Amino acid sequence: MIDHPRTIALRRPPVLLRGSPLAADRFGPDIDEAESRWDALCSVRPEYFDGGLLAVGGVTRKGHGGVTMTVSPCPYRWFAVQDDVFDLGLRPLGIKALVRDPEGFLLCGHRSRTVHAYPNRWEFLPGGSVEPEEEPLQTVVRELEEEAGLVPKAPPVAKALCYDPLARTWEVVYELQVERTEGCPSHPGEHTERSWFAPSSLPCPMAPIAERLADLLIHGKESTLGVDDRFEP
């Protein structure tokens, strides 16, 4: 299990090798603790609801900027109850994107205080989890509509695969361009504010993964880091 940020530069979309859904007996008695934690979480956060995720089981680098990822469906609730004390080893697959308007301004959102990770921080929009039946490219288009009410002018381009140790997620990072319009988000609840920023004047404070993406893909402050040829969580 890695516990620090890792990044792979991509020149082509990742390939997903899909396995069977994760069974509860895989986790032994820990699954009872997970279910108890979920019940307790929902009692204080009734807005939470269960859903499906793709848990990453392995990442293999391929030549010419490609990766293959082994993924398996699992319930969101098993992931949501993990913390520094209780960890089932689930690392879901998600997406993030750098969305630019024709003038080069970047779309950012301020996360609400009730979200699971990075409350009250700014991040690049959109972002979200890849659902079990989706490809990451489908996810980034869906999340862009849900979070900003926008559609891309051209197909999004996969630029990197990042591991975020604080959020415990793998993220496929895309770049895309849109026309700046007053979009109508269909699921606006995760963010209290959305706005466009020049690359030289990004908002603060930003989520750590957003700061890293800005350094790597906008400011070019450091070389993109690679991971081992094979990663097993």
Question: pLDDT per residue over 57-94, tens digit each?
Answer: 999 998 888 999 999 999 999 999 999 999 999 999 99
CA dihedral 77, 55, 173, 66 (to 10 degrees): 180
pLDDT at 228 over 50: no
Does residue 126 have a cis peptide bond before it, meaning omega lies within 30 degrees of 0? yes
> Is the residue at 11 inside a domain?
yes
> Is the residue at 153 inside a domain?
yes
Residue 137 vs residues 3, 155, 194, 220, 222: alpha-carbon distances, Å: 26, 8, 22, 24, 26
Beta bridge partners of 107: 196
Sequence-distant (≥ 6) Cβ neighbours of residue 163 within 8 angstroms: 2, 5, 6, 7, 91, 169, 170, 171, 227
Summarize pLDDT for 98-152 with one digit per residue, the tens.
999 999 999 999 998 887 788 899 999 999 999 999 999 999 999 999 988 999 9
Position with higher pLDDT, 15 vs 47: 15
> Is the residue at 1 inside a domain?
no
Give how many domains the chain has, as a whole number: 1
pLDDT at 222 over 70: no
> Is the residue at 143 inside a domain?
yes
Alpha-carbon gap, residue 68 to 227, rounded angstroms: 13
> Is the residue at 222 inside a domain?
yes
CATH code, domain with 140: 3.90.79.10
Domain range holding 130?
A: 6-231
> Per-residue confidence at 231, pLDDT binned at 50, 70, 90?
very low
